[in-house]
Structure 1
């Protein structure tokens, strides 16, 4: 039986973004009165019900990326969230109990955990089971939904591509009914003419039409290049991306088209914008960080300099409010675009991130450019564009990925 969660269920359950991609913002005031005490190994002090595995994965990966060795209990908490079938839910308050039908597992949490644990090393059994589960819920179009049985979307497909690459598998070889993940991904691409030229949609709308979505585009650019959340700029990058229609696009062409859209989107103000229902347009920090990663990986650090500088100047308050996943996104942006996460507009992102959870085993001394410089597969995207806003007694998770017509 196909299961497609209602809009309300998605708003309450979607965890990313990751981003990739969402943007992730951990802004609830704290655990609700009925929540259990937060685990000692968890990063962030807010209610983890909807984003625990996601934010933990991003935090640990960001630490690894800059040479920090995470606390063992933080890694143990993440591995302990896995269900027996290999999947991960956003948060399991009682990991000692077997997962049942009430545990809402999802591809984004699972793929993010895979990418992080693959990067850390020594967790082949956990990642192997998780990848097997991801393959078991692949859709016939070659892509992935957020929850099994739903329609494929760009962000979920992208974060799974990153997971496959992280464990050394070629995404194009993971085929369902003759369709690869790239077949699904490129079906969400807009042509190089008209509104949103070169962009990707999150999903087709009810009429089957595609509308440009900046966060989905950032996720797709990185995934098309076979990368994940924490990639370094490619060796062949450096030229400004141009949008060109070429029939069925190659991964490189689709990535270039998407990057051309993002470059135009940030050209004026240096950032992407978003609007919450009933609110005026405002800067979207998380999606801008994702766009920096995408631009740097596809077109080189120089093409990402303007939005990176904007983030260095303006993102401190957002990251402080939003928590570990936000700090991680900024670390990924700095790493991809040759910035310094230990001096990001005067802010030490690594120190701030480390302070949101258990003290790391070591803080490392390597410069950001020295870590995994030539190892682009061990990264994750996010993406996934999500942010947490206050609700009545509990934080409501809204998916920025579902917004149409971005930026």
Structure 2
């Protein structure tokens, strides 16, 4: 889910409060955009963090860890400092020195993303456990999760929570609601049958299509029990044929087949115009195209991921620069999944671009390796200097002893 998509979702939830009184109060309150102010030095990005502060921070840290970059300590501290006492993360809170306000909306997506990032970085077991316990406590009866606790389950939220459970060492298939349902039971309710509209795709919610490519890409990962970081799965021999699905595995195949078909013509997905826009034309959707590459690769449809990957390499640099850390992170995770080099992605160094959006990282694997090599070289030179000195001294002692023998003779 891109930053733009998260803002849309938050605004949609706020609008739903007016249009549908049946929605639980906890799910309808949207945070008020923060006025222009100096942002925390540990935060990635310069845009208003109201709707995506924790989200973009989590993706940035996760992407850095994936490519061997050790984030700045204050960047990690900023993220952990966003956690509320009960374990949940909001989308953003400006003053982390005060307890979370009771009216502050808690965000399952932000919480799940934070869990994945902190679990990957390590050393945050208590924070991770607290968040996972909270996520389990707000699981809906159908086995899924909503954007905010109390809201109806949706494919995106359910899928990213699956990723959080897996990243923290849990077993999503064994995490059941009070009604005895798992997240996979919920995901199957979003899967569309073959032959109709959006055949094989996962809808955002059964009665709300949403941005189908977005929810489908998320659900394919969730169906595989995967988080945001994946590697290539075993080749899917079924190709892109949609088949009757009664299991989560079959539904994942159909979802990936839907994405492959949607991408086949142009190599990219499209996004509808923003609400209120005067331009009715659809625009290329870089973020969901990147997510689709990850989903296709996880499903084992690497060949079908090549065209959208190439499109991203040729067309995503300006988008990432404009959109900020979450965009760079999505592209890095897509490159990682598909086996491309994120430091040379269509001529763009995505890692450098991401690093530049936040506090300077502490180190990278390459820098550490270079330092170790330098240390080893220095140590080696020192050892050989000592060996040489010892040899010279030994020769001197030998000559001395030899001279003594001659004198004695």
Deviations 1:183-202 (A, max 9, x none): 11110000011121110100
User: Where does residue 120 of structure 2 map in the other structure?
Assistant: 119
Task: Call closer, same or farther: CA 1:41–1:60 in 2, change over 3 Å.
Answer: same
Task: Call closer, same or farther: CA 1:77–1:238 in 2, change over 3 Å.
Answer: farther
Query: Cα RMSD between the aligned structures?
Result: 2.1
Say which structure, 1 or 2, has more relative contact order (CA 8 Å, 6+ apart). 1
Equivalent residue for 1:269, pick from 266, 272, 277: 266
Q: Secondary structure at the match of 2:225?
A: coil
User: Where does residue 29 of structure 2 map in the other structure?
Assistant: none
Deviations 1:210-268 (A, max 9, x none): 6771110000001100101111112455762432104x22x321111100000000000
- State TM-score, norm by structure 1: 0.80
Supply the distance in 2 between the matched residues of 1:6 and 1:142 (Cα, whole angstroms).
25
Which one has the largest radius of gyration?
2
Tell me if structure 2 keeps the 8 A contact 1:204–1:211. Answer: no
Matching of residues 67-78 of structure 1 within 5 Å: 67-78=68-79
1:188 has 2:190 as partner:
yes
Tell me if structure 1 keeps the 8 A contact 2:90–2:110. Answer: yes
Tell me if structure 2 keeps the 8 A contact 1:196–1:212. Answer: no
Tell me if structure 2 keeps the 8 A contact 1:190–1:212. Answer: no
Matching of residues 333-372 of structure 1 within 5 Å: 333-365=334-366
Supply the distance in 2 between the matched residues of 1:40 and 1:212 (Cα, whole angstroms).
34
Task: Call closer, same or farther: CA 1:204–1:355 in 2, change over 3 Å.
Answer: same
Deviations 1:67-88 (A, max 9, x none): 1111111001000100000000
Task: Call closer, same or farther: CA 1:11–1:108 in 2, change over 3 Å.
Answer: farther
User: Where does residue 61 of structure 1 map in the other structure?
Assistant: 62
Supply the distance in 2 between the matched residues of 1:112 and 1:90 (Cα, whole angstroms).
11
4+ runs deviating over 6 angstroms: none
User: Where does residue 244 of structure 1 map in the other structure?
Assistant: 243
User: Where does residue 130 of structure 1 map in the other structure?
Assistant: 131
Task: Call closer, same or farther: CA 1:72–1:341 in 2, change over 3 Å.
Answer: same
How far off is 1:37 after superposition?
Answer: 1.8
Task: Call closer, same or farther: CA 1:242–1:63 in 2, change over 3 Å.
Answer: same
Q: Secondary structure at the match of 1:105?
A: coil
> What are structure 2's unaligned runs of at least 5 residues?
1-8, 18-32, 368-409
User: Where does residue 371 of structure 2 map in the other structure?
Assistant: none
Matching of residues 1-400 of structure 1 within 5 Å: 7=12, 9=14, 34-176=35-177, 177-205=179-207, 213-236=212-235, 240-246=239-245, 248-249=246-247, 251-276=248-273, 277=275, 278=277, 279-365=280-366
Supply the distance in 2 between the matched residues of 1:305 and 1:346 (Cα, whole angstroms).
17
> What are structure 1's unaligned runs of at least 5 residues?
13-30, 367-407
The structure with more helix, counted as a fraction of residues: 2
Deviations 1:130-164 (A, max 9, x none): 00100111100000000111100000000100000
- State TM-score, norm by structure 2: 0.79
